[in-house]
Amino acid sequence: MPSRFKDHFSGVASGYAAHRPTYPPALADFLAGLLPRPDTAWDCGCGTGQLSLLLADRFRRVLATDASPEQIEQATPHPNVEYRCSPAESSGLPDACADLAVAAQAAHWFDLPAYYAEVRRVARPGAAVALVTYGNPMADGEIDPLLVHFYSKIAGPYWPPERRMVEEGYRSLPFPFEEIPPPDLEIRRSWPLSNLIGYVETWSALRGMEKAEGRGAIEQFYADLTAAWGSASRLRLFRWPVAMRVGRVAAQASP
């Protein structure tokens, strides 16, 4: 099956590993708690393993797949995690091998009907399935309006159309599973200025913006951030709301 993989992140894989925020442990606790026996999790579109590592502390085995070889090369090793380079729609995993199928900050890039077919093949009957995303960062003080303006007005025209699904918290995505209400969660990180700049550099919109305009507007944004930040070593709090679609994989009907 051909993949519709749109590779916005291989070129920034090292920055992705260093600067993308990790998920709250409560997310992994919730996902593991959906299962009577959290044995095997499939983390699809795993990137550099942000969620895979959390799942590895709660599941005996994590099968972590991503279509980008550069992302897999930058992934953090863990004895319970098996990283594989494969597209979401054709994972190469065995039939009925996973108790959990999860995709974190990735499902908006998938061919969803093909991915859902793969979930039904790879997941065991009664397995949990979850699509996880996090929204735009919210900052303290005078940093927040600078971020909002740059995200929406300056970088706005260069966001891929799939970004709208993230902004909507995946509410508009088709989700053909019996839904389970998720908890309210958020990512919280206290960062110095360098971490925020490194995070912004991983944004998919910046690739198109650089190609069309160069880096002038980007560097001006960083200068504005620096002026507003204060001491470069100062830590500022950032919060990302976590949104989820969570469900249960039904048993296949007998022929």
pLDDT in tens, 158-202: 999 999 999 999 999 999 999 999 999 999 999 999 999 999 999
Specify if 98 maps to a domain: yes
Whether residue 78 lies inside any domain: the answer is yes
Q: Is residue 234 part of a domain?
A: no
221: nearest Cα among 205, 241, 234, 239: 205
Residue 152 is assigned to a structural domain of this protein? no
At residue 5, the pLDDT reads 43
Number of domains in the chain: 1
Residue 82 inside a domain? The answer is yes
Chain segment 44-57, per-residue pLDDT in tens: 999 999 999 999 99
- DSSP 3-state of 95: coil
Q: What mean pLDDT is predicted for residues 134-161?
A: 94
Q: What is the pTM of this model?
A: 0.89
For residue 25, the enclosing domain spans 10-137+161-187+241-248
For 169-189, give one letter per residue: b (16+ CB within 10 A) or e.
bbeeeebebeeeebeebebeb
CA atoms within 13 A on the CB side of 60: 8
Return the percentage of the chain with pLDDT > 90, whole number.
Answer: 85
Q: How many residues does the chain have?
A: 255
SS3 131: strand
pLDDT band at 18 (very low <50, low <70, confident <90, very high): confident
pLDDT number for residue 20: 81
Query: First vs last Cα of the chain: how many Å apart?
Result: 25
Out of 8-12, 142-146, 213-217, least confident range: 8-12
Q: Looking at the domain assignment, is residue 75 inside a domain?
A: yes
Q: Establish if 225 belongs to a structural domain.
A: no
35: domain CATH number is 3.40.50.150
Q: Looking at the domain assignment, is residue 195 inside a domain?
A: no
d(CA 169, CA 69): 27
Mean pLDDT within 80-98:
97
Mean confidence (pLDDT) of the chain: 91
Which residues, 6+ apart, have CB-to-CB distance to 250 below 8 Å?
A: 125, 177, 178
- Going from the C-alpha of 58 to that of each of 43, 54, 92, 126, 223, the distances in angstroms are 13, 7, 24, 18, 42
Contact present, 111 and 89 (Cβ < 8 Å): yes
